[in-house]
Amino acid sequence: MFSGLKEKVGEVLVPGDEFFFEATDTISLAEPARPEKVVCGPGLRRRGDRLLVCKSGVLRHKQPNVFWIDSQQRRYVPAKGETIIGIVTAKSGDVFKVDFGGSEQASLSYLSFEGATKRNRPNVQVGDLVFAQFIVANKDMEPELVCIDSSGRANGMGVFGGGGLLFRVSLGLVRRLLSPLSEIRSDLDQVFPCELVVGLNGRLWVKSSSIQQTLIISNLLQSCDTMTTAQRRQLFRRVQQGVL
């Protein structure tokens, strides 16, 4: 393991911090030391026997060896396999251009929808919201999206968004909402039942039974970015009791 890495979990790290692989962590000293496999998430970069911190934030850890930096970053950098909420901005031939909040737009083929063929084209219009997944995302190629999984099924992806509200939050809050045991989602369900679509690019779409409730939910979620757990629960409790 990298020296001092696990001891730093929960602490704030800044760009320039680095960790070095300890040769004494190997089982057999007769064999050459090989850096232990560590899965680097956002904010960390592996370089040989060093682990570099690329952005400021709190170091997080998930068993067995997954590490990442939890920050309030809002600029999204696409990564293959991630699902996002995009806005269709143009149609160029057989390809849609989709704004996902990055430095450039992504392409989305009309054949990348469940059941789409040359004769049966999907009904996609400029301005529509799409929940899609990156299949190409690197610095040397144009980002490419699809609305189907590996078996050709939509699996929840595609055009959506009728009657709801789209807004932005930090990437850190998005990861907290997507965690399997999200306390924010649990607290929110006790206040107002709603439909919620979460994109890893920092975009949220919400729809409740009324416009007023939808606006309240969006304000509550945006407030969670800067609140502690105690502050959030107090705010949610006040809303639930009808004080606000």
Name the superfamily (CATH) of residues 165-240. K Homology domain, type 1 (3.30.1370.10)
Q: CATH number of the domain at 6-70, please?
A: 2.40.50.100
Q: Which residue shows structure tokens 């779409």?
A: 205
Q: What is the pLDDT of residues 10-37, one digit of tens each?
A: 888 888 888 887 655 444 444 554 556 7
Every domain range in the chain assigned CATH 2.40.50.100: 6-70
The contacts of residue 98 (CB under 8 Å, 6+ apart) are 86, 87, 88, 89, 105, 106, 107, 108, 130, 132, 145
The contacts of residue 209 (CB under 8 Å, 6+ apart) are 192, 193, 194
The pair of structure tokens assigned to 94 is 């057989």
Q: For position 202, what pLDDT does the model report?
A: 92
| Spans in the chain with pLDDT lower than 50 | 25-30, 33, 243-244
At residue 212, the 3 state secondary structure works out as helix
At residue 79, the 3 state secondary structure works out as coil
Instruction: Fill in the DSSP letter of residue 143.
Output: -
CA distance 51 to 132: 31
Q: For position 27, what pLDDT does the model report?
A: 42
What is the four-CA torsion angle of 211, 213, 218, 219, rounded to 10 degrees?
110
Q: Which of 128, 127, 110 is closest to 119 using CA atoms?
A: 110
Sort strands 165-168 and 203-207 into parallel, antiparallel or unpaired. antiparallel
Q: For position 1, what pLDDT does the model report?
A: 62
CA distance 113 to 132: 10
Q: For position 16, what pLDDT does the model report?
A: 84
Name the superfamily (CATH) of residues 83-160. Nucleic acid-binding proteins (2.40.50.140)
What is the four-CA torsion angle of 26, 28, 33, 39, rounded to 10 degrees?
-40
Work out the burial of residue 203: count CB atoms within 10 Å of its CB; fewer than 13 is exposed, 13-18 middle, 19 or more buried.
buried
- Other beta carbons within 10 angstroms of residue 86's beta carbon come to 26
